[in-house]
Amino acid sequence: MRKIVLKIEPIPSEQISDVLKEHGILINHYAEEFFAHPRFSTGCSRETTVTIASLQEIGLENGATLRDIFTHISKTGLKACAVSTGLFLRLVWTDQPQSRNSTLTGTHSSPDQAVTVLSEIIEQDDAFPKGLYLRNIDGNLWLRGYICDDAYRFPGDALFAFEMRRI
């Protein structure tokens, strides 16, 4: 498990694209859709601790659906991230290990070394992004939106980012 402390300062929605470009971060069209949703907000100033762990590390050895992951973490010290956490995590986590598989078009599988940011589902439509994931492809840092349905099962070795519950 890896822990990263984030100090979050709001970014006006019309500046998100420019901030990502300034940091050399690439995005896909699903991330653009996610950022454009009315429920996406960078929120207010705050500090949070993000834990990056595989599903196996948090007790889901055989993998799980998103619903299973949400249910499981409710019994732990972890919680879903705010919808903007992936954006801020990508801005500060620049030494993410590189993916060994640089192209995955049409495979519907979790990419090697990708970190899915578990966050609130802001749209129930399966064609709308469920959230964001971070990836390093050939030295290029990506923040990508992803889609899946309720039946999709992430493998046990899939990496996720969670926030820590405040006690």
pLDDT at 86 over 80: yes
Segment among 11-20, 30-39, 61-70, 106-115 with least mean pLDDT: 106-115
Dihedral (Cα; 82, 88, 89, 95), 10-degree rounding: 180
Position 22 pLDDT exceeds 60: yes
Tell me what pLDDT residue 53 has: 97
The whole-model pTM stands at: 0.92
- Binning pLDDT at 50, 70 and 90, where does residue 102 land? low
Q: Taking a C-beta distance cutoff of 8 angstroms, is the pair 52, 13 a contact?
A: no
Categorize the per-residue pLDDT at 109 as very low, low, confident or very high, splitting at 50, 70 and 90.
low
Chain centre distance of CA 12: 20
The predicted structure's pLDDT at residue 103:
56
Ramachandran sector of residue 105 (left: φ over 0; alpha: ψ -120 to 50; beta: rest): beta
Looking at residues 71-97, what average pLDDT do you find? 96
Say yes or no to pLDDT of 50 above 80. yes
Residue 106 pLDDT > 80: no
- Check residues 110 and 2 and name the one with the higher pLDDT: 2
Q: Which residue in the block uniquely carries the two structure tokens 């192209």? A: 103
- Answer for the pair 167, 50: CB distance below 8 angstroms, yes or no: no
Q: How many CA atoms lie within 13 A of 95 on its CB side?
A: 2
Model confidence at 104: pLDDT above 70: no
**CB burial class (10 A; 0-12, 13-18, 19+) of residue 39?**
exposed
pLDDT in tens, 4-17: 999 999 999 999 99
**Over residues 59-75, mean pLDDT:** 96
* Cα gap 69→32, rounded to integer Å: 25
Expressed in percent and rounded to 5, the helix, strand and coil fractions of the chain are 20, 30, 50
**Mean pLDDT value of segment 37-50:** 94
Per-residue pLDDT at 51 exceeds 90: yes
In this prediction, what percent of the chain has a pLDDT beyond 70? 93
